[in-house]
Amino acid sequence: MASAIPNFFIIGAPKCGTTSLAAWLSEHPGIYMSPIKEPFYFSTDINHRSVRDWQAYLGLFSKVQSEIAIGEGSTSYLFSRVAVPAIEERFPSARYIVMLRNPVEMAYALHGQQVRVFNENVEDFRQAWHLASKRRAGQQVPPGCQDAILLDYPSWCKLGEQLERLYSWISPERVLVQVLDDIKRDPRREYLRALEFLGVPDNGRQQFPIHNPAQEWKWRWAGSIVRRMAKATGYAKHIARILPKRSFGVMRVFQRAAAQQRPRSPLPPDLRAELEGFFQKDVRKLEELLDRDFSGWCQA
């Protein structure tokens, strides 16, 4: 039987709740989510793809049965300049879910994530933020980093600019924008908005656990091993298909043993003011695009 094809995409932004939403949607009987949450297949301008072969990509949807909504969630697609146009060539009627948050908080969280996945070797956020321009020029990029662009925190967090570009490609009627603040305040309401957008009925879900919270490795060496094992297992299950797709939870056990939750300390006031000033113009753009007030995000 031929694979089904995706008809919706959670396209970003990173650290804005995409993992939680994808997990909640994957448990709905009318929705099928790719078993590899972030294949990154269409963002060919970023060296960060988990799936590079077209047939392997289609294979992610080979287990679709009677689900109405079929999707995947790659947080690089909103930032990428080629991903959405490439999706439109393949799936011209697709729908897009965009998730946003305060860019100041996003930048701080994104840095923590890049440290955790071993792309970033500068653990001090202030220093990493100020290195962005040098890294854009290919300088002081960690040897293990997949692509220097992944460490360009200022550019990744210009969400107004990215949403404006998306609207230049796609009619707003095919885009659902969700804000992390709203999800935290009333997750069921935002979940129902997503279901309505995807055309599936309410399944009565009442519990909305957080996925992918801020974490750090207890031991960096152990984290490196666990990440390599997780990537190899995902490849063997869903791309090479040499392991059964059934999950026994072994990798989750290893990850829980090697990692611990780490609430981020507050940003220093001067650094927060610097970031608020940097993002102020872009936040105004978001306000215009969405007809919303985000003045609490950037008060510098």
Each residue of 27-52: pLDDT tens digit?
A: 999 999 999 989 999 999 999 999 99
Task: Tell me, yes or no, whether 242 and 197 share the same domain.
Answer: no
pLDDT of residue 245: 58
In contact, 124 and 88? CB cutoff 8 Å? no
Task: Tell me, yes or no, whether 152 and 34 share the same domain.
Answer: yes
Dist CA 71 CA 6 (whole Å): 5
Dist CA 110 CA 152 (whole Å): 10
The radius of gyration of the chain from alpha carbons, rounded to an integer in Å, stands at 19
Task: Tell me, yes or no, whether 134 and 252 share the same domain.
Answer: no
Task: Tell me, yes or no, whether 17 and 109 share the same domain.
Answer: yes
pLDDT of residue 176: 98
- Per-residue pLDDT, averaged over 136-154, amounts to 94
Task: Tell me, yes or no, whether 165 and 41 share the same domain.
Answer: yes
- Per-residue pLDDT, averaged over 124-153, amounts to 95
pLDDT digits (tens, 9 = 90+) for 68-98: 999 999 999 999 999 999 999 999 999 999 9
Dihedral angle sign, alpha carbons of residues 19, 210, 24, 291: negative
Task: Tell me, yes or no, whether 93 and 107 share the same domain.
Answer: yes
**Into how many domains does the chain fold?**
2
pLDDT digits (tens, 9 = 90+) for 192-217: 999 999 999 999 999 999 886 655 65
* 197 within some domain: yes
pLDDT of residue 144: 86
Task: Tell me, yes or no, whether 167 and 132 share the same domain.
Answer: yes
Q: How confident is the model at residue 299 (pLDDT cuts 50, 70, 90)?
A: confident
Task: Tell me, yes or no, whether 149 and 94 share the same domain.
Answer: yes
* 295 within some domain: no
DSSP assignment, residue 82? Answer: S
* 244 within some domain: yes
Q: Where are the alpha helices (DSSP H) in the chain?
A: 18-26, 54-59, 83-90, 103-116, 125-130, 132-136, 153-156, 159-169, 180-185, 187-198, 220-238, 250-258, 269-290
Task: Tell me, yes or no, whether 119 and 231 share the same domain.
Answer: no
- Per-residue pLDDT, averaged over 259-286, amounts to 89
CA trace torsion 138, 144, 150, 151 (10° rounding) = -70
Q: What residue numbers bound the domain in which 44 lies?
A: 8-214+263-290
Task: Tell me, yes or no, whether 72 and 124 share the same domain.
Answer: yes
Dist CA 143 CA 199 (whole Å): 45
- Mean pLDDT, the chain, whole residue set: 89
CATH number at residue 25: 3.40.50.300
Task: Enter the pTM of the model.
Answer: 0.86
pLDDT reading at 158 higher than 60:
yes
Dist CA 61 CA 210 (whole Å): 25
Dihedral angle sign, alpha carbons of residues 49, 54, 59, 65: positive
pLDDT digits (tens, 9 = 90+) for 255-267: 666 665 667 789 9
pLDDT reading at 17 higher than 70:
yes
Task: Tell me, yes or no, whether 31 and 154 share the same domain.
Answer: yes
Task: Tell me, yes or no, whether 204 and 225 share the same domain.
Answer: no
